[in-house]
Amino acid sequence: MDDKVLFRKNKNITMPKNDFALKDREESPFVNPIWKLPFKGLNPREKDVDDFNDYVTYMNDQQKLWLADGLRRMKPDSIWLEKLVV
């Protein structure tokens, strides 16, 4: 598990460190924004819905599958799941 990050709220949700820690054009590290979405999807506020809608348009199929899996584990009835079909 050293090469994966565990989701604090559900240890069954993991992400490879290479996908978790990204770098911008200036090589400054930042956390992959989709990492926060399973938590934001539990009880989404308007801002969380906006974040999801912004990010989902840029996600590749692998990221959508990862998020769908996380949401199913955290909130199986999430309305966001319908937008993550690949």
Predicted confidence at residue 2, as pLDDT, reads 77
Please write the tens of the pLDDT for every residue from 33-79. Answer: 999 999 999 999 999 999 999 999 999 999 999 999 999 999 999 99
Is the pTM here over 0.75, yes or no? yes
d(CA 55, CA 33): 8
User: Is pLDDT at 1 greater than 70 in this prediction?
Assistant: no
Question: In the chain, what are the domain boundaries?
Answer: 4-84
Q: What is the DSSP string of the chain?
A: -TTEEEETTEEEEEEEHHHHEEE-TT--EEE-GGGGHHHHTTS--HHHHHHHHHHHTT--HHHHHHHHHHHHHH-TT-GGGGGG--
Please write the tens of the pLDDT for every residue from 12-37. Answer: 999 999 999 999 999 999 999 999 99
